[in-house]
Amino acid sequence: MLKKRIIPCLLLKGKGFVKTMNFKHPVYLGDPLNIVKIFNVKMIDELMILDITASAEGRKPNFELIQKISSISFSPLTYGGGITSLDEAKRLFSIGIEKICLNTAVFKNPKLLHEINKLYGSQSLIVSLNIFRNFLGSYRIVDNSTKSIVTDLSIPESVKWLESNGAGEILINDVNNDGVMKGYNIDLIKMVTSVSTVPVIACGGCGNLGHIREVLTEGGASAAAVGSFFVFNGKHKAVLLSYPSQAVISNLLKN
């Protein structure tokens, strides 16, 4: 059985980390290098960094900044944002990124999935699905910046299609729950985990430790990605980085 994971998820905008709500209203958190150093002290097992404006701005990953982050991080790093070619993926792996996260552009260019899988294996490849629930309650996979629908496939069909094309993990990025801190959408996560044969990472909605336990047990996710809960404190959401101790995590993940 795969080990359950808890992953701080940090959003990169320009040269700083931010946190959003419903993929909007980014709040500045601080300098990436300082924030990564703080998480080093907290002995996290894994770290995910997603550049939320690279694709919208039509630019490549900020390799210089990513290399600086990689050089000081004590934890394995996942990076996503602006990756459009095999050469860019190669460069990211060469500067210390362990996994890369592709987004919905893969529906237009599945060849990139195959190329990366062939060279580095599926364990190095995550695909992120931005899922939006409309006013009728229907789920759609949307573009990160424009929120336009990117495929006519259903959520389960998309997951199976991505697996067949080489995705090693699926990240479910819940647009409606992003930053609200009221809990993961367990029904949505179950929809994915019930059909997926690869690990599923749930992202969007964590507000307490109970939410993490719920999505990993009831939801069946392999990992919980956490943003606001690890970077904000109190009702006024002051920026204060946190991460549970290993003892708390062990107790949290007990069957």
pLDDT in tens, 12-38: 999 999 999 999 999 999 999 999 999
Q: How confident is the model at residue 162 (pLDDT cuts 50, 70, 90)?
A: very high
Total domain count, the chain: 1
Among the residues of 51-197, which ranges form H helices? 63-72, 86-94, 110-120, 155-164, 186-193
Query: Please, what is the average pLDDT of the chain?
Result: 94
pLDDT in tens, 200-225: 999 999 999 999 999 999 999 999 99
pLDDT value of position 2 = 65
pLDDT value of position 66 = 98
List residues bridging with 49 in a β-sheet: 10, 79
pLDDT in tens, 35-67: 999 999 999 999 999 999 998 898 999 999 999
> Between 248 and 97, whose confidence is greater?
97
User: Which of 129, 78, 120 lies closest to 99, judged by CA?
Assistant: 78
Return d(Cα 21, Cα 206) in angstroms, integer: 12
pLDDT in tens, 80-139: 999 999 999 999 999 999 999 999 779 889 999 999 999 999 999 999 999 999 988 999
> Between 170 and 237, whose confidence is greater?
170
pLDDT value of position 176 = 95
User: Which of 199, 81, 63, 195 lies closest to 130, judged by CA?
Assistant: 81
Question: 76-105 b/e with 16+ CB inside 10 Å = b?
Answer: bbbbbbbbbebebbebbbebebbbbbbbbb
User: Which of 7, 6, 9, 45 lies closest to 217, judged by CA?
Assistant: 6
Return d(Cα 199, Cα 220) in angstroms, integer: 9
Q: Which domain holds residue 101?
A: 5-253
Q: Percentage of the chain with pLDDT > 70? A: 99
pLDDT value of position 26 = 94
Strand, helix or coil for residue 14: coil
pTM, entire model:
0.96
Q: How confident is the model at residue 246 (pLDDT cuts 50, 70, 90)?
A: confident
Return d(Cα 24, Cα 22) in angstroms, integer: 5
Per-residue pLDDT at 150 exceeds 60 = yes
Strand, helix or coil for residue 165: coil
112: its two tokens: 């990139």
pLDDT value of position 215 = 97
pLDDT value of position 255 = 60
CATH of the domain at 10: 3.20.20.70
Nearest 10 degrees: CA dihedral of 225, 45, 98, 101? Answer: 0
Return d(Cα 68, Cα 129) in angstroms, integer: 27
